[in-house]
Amino acid sequence: MQKTIFITGASAGLGKATAKLFQSKGWNVIAAMRNPAKETELNQLENINLVSLEVTNVSQINETVKSIIAHQNVDVVFNNAGYGLGGALEYATDEQILQQIETNLTGVIRVTKAFIPYFKQKEAGLFITTTSVFGFSSCPLSSVYNATKWALEGFSESISYDLALFNVGIKTVASGGIKSNFVNAMQFAGGKEYEVLNESMGKLISNGQLFQFNEVEEIAEVVYKAATDGKDQLRYLAGRDAEQTAQERLQEGADNFRIKLRQSLHIKSPFERTL
Ligand SMILES: NC(=O)c1ccc[n+]([C@@H]2O[C@H](COP(=O)([O-])OP(=O)(O)OC[C@H]3O[C@@H](n4cnc5c(N)ncnc54)[C@H](OP(=O)(O)O)[C@@H]3O)[C@@H](O)[C@H]2O)c1
């Protein structure tokens, strides 16, 4: 039987590439996005249906999910919508902080919650969530973004026990850098005193030390693998940079990894001075 995937943030980047890949593999795709009226590519493809969804809107989430499951089968939910908030925390407005958390974290929790009774009732289903290399390691000047992605890893691991009771799976795709609209869509909080750190970080990004930019199709292939390989595996690393970071962090230990990154950013330890 033809399978169906529901994808959030399908208007661009990884969400769109995943929609195209699953469609090309014979899946039915429900592509959720904020502005379906603006979409010109996915609506030309057979077996892709566009639905309107802003993931910070809880009533829209509940109504959309209710109407989808009333009419069709869903096998996989891909929680992918997200964006980055960069800059120093002290300069971020409360609105910027909440918007980041409500989009990247609460949005995923709410979409997952809305689909659980349906998957539970049919005793089948799989959730996949896009996290990040910064969902298990870290980078400077994006603490709230890092917090949302770490939280998604914790959320997924914890709820994996609950969902397993009903034969429902959950996985994450921890992606390295992706060539997408992400950088353009980023919001920035500012912070002049942090400029020196921003510059050192820029150098690490340009020489590929912090992460590298992978082709979006390559990351979509990992989503497809996670959806279809039947493995009891929680986290899928996507991209060579994510694999390398995970390996280094495991070999060196989390503290040494963090200290080494801080040293490459030319920052002294705050614990050097005796108190
Ligand atoms: N790019 C990277 O380097 C990178 C690395 C690791 C992980 N990720 C993660 O990968 C995922 C996809 O990002 P991308 O790289 O594909 O970036 P992208 O090209 O900017 O796509 C982001 C998608 O999320 C949607 N979105 C943002 N806020 C939303 C909201 N409130 N409600 C509904 N949809 C919303 C965007 O919709 P609109 O078109 O309406 O804005 C867009 O469809 C994100 O979760 C991101 O954190 C990205």
Beta strand 85-86 pairing with 28-33 = unpaired
Question: Which residues in the chain show pLDDT less than 70?
Answer: 274-275
Q: Which protein residue has the closest C-alpha to ligand 1 atom 10?
A: 130
Atom number in ligand 1 closest to CA 134: 6
Distance between Cα 54 and ligand 1 center (Å): 12
Residue with tokens 């994996």: 160
Distance 81 CA to ligand 1 centre (A): 5
Radius of gyration of the chain (CA): 19
- Indicate the average pLDDT of the chain: 97
Superfamily for 4-194+212-239? Answer: NAD(P)-binding Rossmann-like Domain (3.40.50.720)
Ligand 1 atom nearest the C-alpha of 181 is 19
Closest Cα to atom 43, ligand 1: which residue?
9
CA distances from 185 to 12, 177, 188, 201, 272 (A): 11, 14, 10, 19, 38
Q: What is the per-residue pLDDT across 41-92, written as a single tens digit (0 to 9) for each?
A: 999 999 999 999 999 999 999 999 999 999 999 999 999 999 999 999 999 9
- Span 242-270, pLDDT tens digits: 999 999 999 999 999 999 999 999 999 99
Instruction: Compute the distance from residue 84 Cα to the ligand 1 centre, in Å.
Output: 8
9: CA distance to ligand 1 center in Å?
Answer: 6
Domain boundaries, the chain: 4-194+212-239
DSSP state letter for 12: S
Rounded to the nearest whole angstrom, what is the distance from the C-alpha of residue 227 to the centroid of ligand 1? Answer: 19
Centre a 10 Å sphere on the Cβ of residue 192 and count the other Cβ atoms it contains.
Answer: 9
